[in-house]
Amino acid sequence: MSSPSTARVLGTLITAAALTLAWGEWKANVRLQAEIDALRSQATDASALRRENADLRRQAAALAAKRAETPPPAPGRRPVRSVPLDAHLRPIDGLPHGSLATPRDAFAAQLWGAKNGDIELEAGTLALDSAARALLQKVLDGLPAEWRATYDTPEKLMAFALAGSPHPVGGMQVLGEVRQGPDDVTLHTRWQHEDDDIVHDSDAQFHQDGGTWKWVVPLPLVQRAAAYLSRQAVQPPPRT
């Protein structure tokens, strides 16, 4: 038989072991609960982030849709040129632009309208052949409704592209003209961009219709404009 002292010692050891086991279980439970709480917090944060991201995506989509439907404004006046004009050239800003009675009048009005962002005037100085008109009409048909309402003809669309040039013509000179018939004239011209000192020589074709002379826009230029206009439809310029 065990002595009373031995029994007491065994009882103490058993109690200590039980307490140690209980303490370990309690600490494990505390750690587990902390991990559960952390996971719940992370899940809550992730859910909030998902909601915020969804809201941001909806806002971005709404903004993109609104911008796509907003027609770009006609460009305003360009900055003052930084390169002096050739001495023989007339500054575009000083050209008369109220008449299309002659090919020279039409040339002056076309350059003035493009440089100063006057879309209505510019469109009225342009003549398009069937291929150029078909190409611009195709671009026009693919634009948002408000674009089509603002630039509702191929001529206005082409005028917008010309007025949007980052290198406007700063000066011009007509060297001479050749008449092909009562309604067709070629002007021999010189001109210079505002931002460089190169003087260009080129021929410009003009056609008369009902007493009004217009510049026949070359097809390669229309093709470049069509590519430019397609980019504008995706990312319209800001309002000025």
Residue 103 pLDDT class (50, 70, 90 cuts): very high
Structure-token match 């009225």, residue found: 124
Average pLDDT of the residues in 162-191:
93
Section 208-224 average pLDDT: 95
Alpha-carbon gap, residue 202 to 143, rounded angstroms: 33
pLDDT for 238 equals 38
pLDDT in tens, 115-145: 999 999 999 999 999 999 999 999 999 888 8
Q: What integer is the mean pLDDT of 56-63? A: 62
Mean pLDDT value across residues 44-65: 64
Angle value at C-alpha 100, between 197 and 202, nearest 5 degrees? 30
Q: Which residues contact 130 (CB under 8 A, 6 or more apart)?
A: none
Q: Domains of the chain by range and CATH?
A: 70-234 (3.10.450)
Give the pLDDT of residue 236.
47
- Distance in angstroms (rounded) separating the CA atoms of residues 139 and 72: 15
pLDDT at 73 over 70: no
Percent of the chain with pLDDT over 90: 51
Band of the pLDDT at 20, cuts 50, 70, 90? low
- Report pLDDT for 189: 97
pLDDT of residue 228: 84
Per-residue pLDDT at 146? 85
Q: Which of 67-81, 182-196, 226-240 comes out lowest in average pLDDT?
A: 67-81
Q: Please state, in angstroms and rounded to a whole number, the distance separating the CA atoms of residues 113 and 121.
A: 6
Determine the pLDDT at residue 29: 66
Per-residue pLDDT band for 175 (boundaries 50, 70, 90) equals very high
Q: What is the pLDDT of residue 237?
A: 40
- Sheet containing strand 126-127, edge to edge, reads 90-91, 169-181, 184-193, 199-209, 212-216, 126-127
